[in-house]
Amino acid sequence: MPDGVLIEEFVRDRDHSARGLRGAVWTAAEPRWRGASSFSRAMRTDPALLARVMPTDRAGAEAVIGDLAAEGELRAHFLDYEPFASAPPLRLRPAEVPDGFREHRLYRVLFAKDPRDGEFTGRRTVGGDHFSWTLRRVGGGLGWGLDVTVLLASGADDAVGPVLDELTGTLRGRGLIPVTTERFA
């Protein structure tokens, strides 16, 4: 039986890179919600702690503690904030923008742990914007990176955040723990 439940969310910058983390934890030993952003960050760097964490969805969390409140009420328990160091996007080379698009972006979502299924590639078009992604080992095998290429056709980037959130959630469901989202171009 799990010791508790951790809920968390990344705070995203305007360009959709991660700029911080909010979290709350409920434990069997102290059955109430309390802020846990520093714990959320620590579990990603402490191998012993990380080994004890198992990603789950809402149904899995409810199996441990019973019915969860609505999302808005759960977010009210995010009492603290763990900021990330930030920097402008790392531009490794000039981005080639294909005809018909106004901007090319490359994001990497870093993950800890190992996925139950290592294969994860795909592509999608949302409102004229093209997204393609692939999951690969990074850091000499220390973690996983989901590389997401975005070709923006429109003047807005409204689909970027939701697509990154959906892909991150899908991989969390496969056993990975998201660490951060960086923008490279």
Distance CA 95, CA 104 (A): 6
CB 49 within 8 A of CB 43: yes
pLDDT tens digits, one per residue of 134-152: 999 998 888 999 999 999 9
Kindly indicate the confidence band of residue 88, based on its pLDDT and cuts at 50, 70 and 90.
confident
Query: At residue 31, does pLDDT exceed 70?
Result: yes
How far, in Å, are 14, 57, 146, 182 from residue 133 at the CA level? Answer: 21, 22, 7, 14
pLDDT tens digits, one per residue of 47-56: 899 999 989 8
* Token pair recorded at residue 146: 């989901």
